[in-house]
């Protein structure tokens, strides 16, 4: 397996992220409306980090941009973060998301001092469920209409891990 690393997201990642996220295989993820919308999103990262709201990273596989991941801090429970991740379809099945989640856990627990990490995933997203379980996250329940994706509200399985 190649080497998986994370780095802070850059506006220059916008085109790559846009191409990954607008692929028809991404049925469980919100799509950026345009390349410019993706750039606007990425421009917010520095402020979000300063405010300890979101900590977003680019996933590199052998130095190639293959996806993104991040931790969104709960606004009312600052000791809790929600982890998320996506990987280009061409790189599925290589353990990249699992390794990225491992690195996110280190950032969340060690650097950010979180006590709890959560993953909210569509119950049909078996790949994401597999990644969560592989990293030792425990299924804790089902939240009805938690996710908003493509104009619909979807249920989410909640997985949690504590330090």
Q: What is the pLDDT of residue 32?
A: 86
Percentage of the chain modeled with pLDDT above 70: 97
Q: What is the pLDDT of residue 147?
A: 82
User: Quick check: 47 pLDDT over 70?
Assistant: yes
Q: Is the Cβ–Cβ distance between 128 and 119 less than 8 Å?
A: yes
Q: Is the Cβ–Cβ distance between 99 and 135 less than 8 Å?
A: no
Domain 4-162 has CATH 3.90.640.10: no
User: Quick check: 30 pLDDT over 90?
Assistant: no
Average pLDDT score over residue span 54-66: 97
Average pLDDT score over residue span 50-77: 96
User: Quick check: 53 pLDDT over 80?
Assistant: yes
**How sure is the predictor about 151, in pLDDT bands with cuts at 50, 70 and 90?**
confident
DSSP notation for 60-78: EETTEEEEEEEEEEPSS-T
Alpha-carbon distance of 65 to 17, in angstroms, equals 9
For the chain, the straight-line distance linking the first and the last C-alpha, in angstroms and rounded, comes to: 28
Q: What is the pLDDT of residue 152?
A: 82
- This model's pTM is above 0.85: yes
User: Quick check: 28 pLDDT over 90?
Assistant: no
User: Could you write out the three-class secondary structure of 80-147?
Assistant: EEEEEEEECHHHCCCCHHHHHHHHHHHHHHHHCCCCEEEEEECCCCHHHHHHHHHCCCEEEEEEEEEE
Interval 70-114: pLDDT, tens: 999 999 999 999 999 999 999 999 999 999 999 999 999 999 999
Q: Among the listed ranges 43-57, 86-100, 138-152, which one has the minimum average pLDDT value?
A: 138-152
Name 132's Cβ contacts closer than 8 Å, sequence gap at least 6: 101, 119, 121, 139, 159
């Amino acid at each position: 397996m190649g080497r998986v690393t994370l780095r802070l997201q850059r506006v220059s990642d916008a085109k790559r992220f846009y191409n990954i996220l607008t692929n028809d295989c991404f049925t469980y993820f919100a799509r950026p409306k345009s390349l410019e919308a993706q750039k606007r999103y990425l421009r917010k990262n520095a402020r979000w980090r300063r405010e300890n709201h979101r900590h977003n990273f680019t996933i590199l596989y052998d130095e190639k941009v293959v996806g993104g991941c991040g931790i969104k801090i709960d606004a009312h429970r600052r000791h809790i973060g929600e982890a998320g991740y996506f990987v280009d379809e061409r790189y599925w099945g290589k353990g990249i998301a699992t390794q990225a989640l491992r690195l996110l856990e280190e950032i969340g627990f060690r650097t950010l001092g979180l006590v709890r990490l959560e993953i909210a995933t569509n119950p049909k997203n078996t790949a994401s469920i597999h990644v969560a379980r592989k990293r030792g996250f425990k299924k804790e329940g089902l939240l009805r209409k938690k996710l908003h994706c493509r104009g619909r509200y979807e249920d989410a399985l909640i997985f949690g891990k504590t330090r």
